[in-house]
């Protein structure tokens, strides 16, 4: 969940933007290096999502409310963020964003090291930069190190990018990204009827500590990784798809995963309910693609997050 907290931290600095109804491969630039999508509205209304949303309220939203006086619980329905090689990062938010929140976000931006008010075809947008926020966590998302461009021009939406050109392009296109065909190497986007959280990343964007072990071996032999959490008949369905460097490596990684699951199930510290869910985990290989699927009781997932 570190990535989720990183995105919220970016919200405070970047004053993010623009909502989307659902995430699809055509909605991401072909050269995207990572993406993150959370549907809080779906969480609030689904059996599997409610416990996860309650956890976010305690562990994430409460911190934002205390630090910045902004209530993401009441004003945010969806968050999407991604970064592309040629145009940098875009952070997208959709919700009932109040004038009070806009004022607070502007005040936060104006209190940084640099702040400017700009115009594009009569539309006001802003530039802000702060040296107070550094890199944090395992994923390198430093696209906003040189500042952020943002605007409130879109109704009930905020729009922020790491480049002026990207923001101007989005404004000219009413906040929509141009449709792109899925090229070889385009990031995987998993889909489900009731998706709660989705994320994907090119493997070279994940830090390798260099300490060896199975984690380093997996990363070293992986090109892409995608994860999705969805509601499936009240259970929290978790799907992970990994693209290995070659089919033989996908089979080897599948064996590693199956072995780790077996070790976990026979651990004396393993909760019997979690062990039962692990027995239902499926690990499949299709060419260079490794797919892992399991369904968990949402309350058990929240307990694991708290621990």
Residue 7: band (very low, low, confident or very high) from pLDDT cuts 50, 70, 90: very low
Backbone phi and psi for residue 192, each to the nearest 5 degrees, phi listed first:
-160, 160
Q: What is the pLDDT of residue 82?
A: 85
pLDDT above 60 for 84: yes
pLDDT above 70 for 270: no
Q: What whole-number distance in Å separates Cα of residue 28 and Cα of residue 181?
A: 10
The answer to whether 281 and 292 are in contact (CB under 8 A) is: yes
Q: What is the pLDDT of residue 10?
A: 39
How large is the average pLDDT for residues 279-307? 86
The answer to whether 106 and 125 are in contact (CB under 8 A) is: no
Q: What is the pLDDT of residue 5?
A: 39
Residue 137: band (very low, low, confident or very high) from pLDDT cuts 50, 70, 90: very low
How large is the average pLDDT for residues 172-184? 64
Range with the lowest mean pLDDT among 79-83, 97-101, 216-220? 216-220
Percent of the chain with pLDDT over 70: 75
pLDDT above 80 for 106: yes
Residue 42: band (very low, low, confident or very high) from pLDDT cuts 50, 70, 90: very high
Q: What is the 3-state secondary structure (H, E, C) of the chain?
A: CHHHHHHHHHHHHHCCCCCCCCCCHHHCCCCEEEEEEEEHHHHHHCCCHHHHHHHHHHHHHHHHHHHHCCCHHHHCCEEEEEEECCCEEEEEEECCCCHHHHHHHHHHHHCCCEEEEEEECCEEEEEEECCCCCCCCCECCHHHCCCEEEECCCCCEEEEECCHHHHHHHHHCCCCCCCCCCCCCCCCCCCCCCEEEEEEEEHHHECCCCCCHHHHHHHHCEEEEEEEEEEECCEEEEEEEEEECCHHHHHHHHHHHHHHHHHHHCCCCCCHHHHHHHHCCEEEEECCEEEEEEEECHHHHHHHHHC
The answer to whether 94 and 78 are in contact (CB under 8 A) is: yes
And the tokens for 7? 């995105």
Backbone phi and psi for residue 266, each to the nearest 5 degrees, phi listed first:
-95, 10
Q: What is the pLDDT of residue 261?
A: 80
How large is the average pLDDT for residues 119-132? 90
pLDDT above 80 for 157: yes
């Amino acid at each position: 969940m570190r990535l989720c907290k990183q995105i919220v931290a970016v919200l405070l600095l970047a004053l993010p933007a623009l909502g989307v109804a659902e995430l699809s491969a055509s909605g991401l630039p072909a050269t995207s290096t990572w993406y993150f999508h959370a549907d809080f509205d779906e969480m609030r209304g689904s059996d599997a999502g409610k416990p996860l949303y309650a956890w976010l309220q305690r562990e994430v939203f409460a911190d934002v409310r205390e630090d910045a006086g902004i209530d993401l619980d009441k004003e945010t329905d969806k968050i999407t963020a991604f970064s592309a090689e040629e145009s940098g990062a875009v952070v997208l938010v959709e919700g009932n964003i109040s004038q009070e929140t806009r004022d607070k976000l502007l005040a936060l931006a104006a209190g940084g090291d640099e702040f400017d008010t700009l115009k594009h075809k009569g539309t006001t947008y802003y530039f802000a930069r702060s040296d107070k926020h550094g890199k944090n966590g395992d994923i390198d998302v430093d696209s906003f190190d040189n500042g952020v461009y943002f605007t409130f021009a879109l109704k009930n939406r905020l729009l922020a990018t790491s480049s002026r050109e990207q923001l101007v392009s989005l404004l000219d296109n009413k906040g929509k990204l141009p449709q792109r065909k899925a090229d070889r190497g385009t990031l995987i986007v998993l889909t489900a009827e009731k998706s709660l959280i989705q994320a994907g990343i090119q493997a070279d964007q994940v830090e390798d500590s260099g300490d060896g072990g199975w984690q380093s071996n997996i990363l070293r032999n992986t090109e892409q990784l995608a994860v999705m959490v969805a509601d499936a008949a009240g259970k929290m369905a978790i799907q992970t798809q990994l693209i290995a460097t070659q089919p033989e490596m996908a089979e080897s990684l599948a064996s590693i995963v199956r072995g780790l699951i077996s070790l976990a199930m026979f651990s004396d510290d393993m909760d019997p309910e979690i062990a039962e869910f692990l027995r239902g985990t499926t690990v499949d290989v299709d060419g260079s693609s490794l797919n892992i699927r399991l369904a968990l009781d949402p309350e058990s997932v929240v307990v694991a997050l708290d621990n």
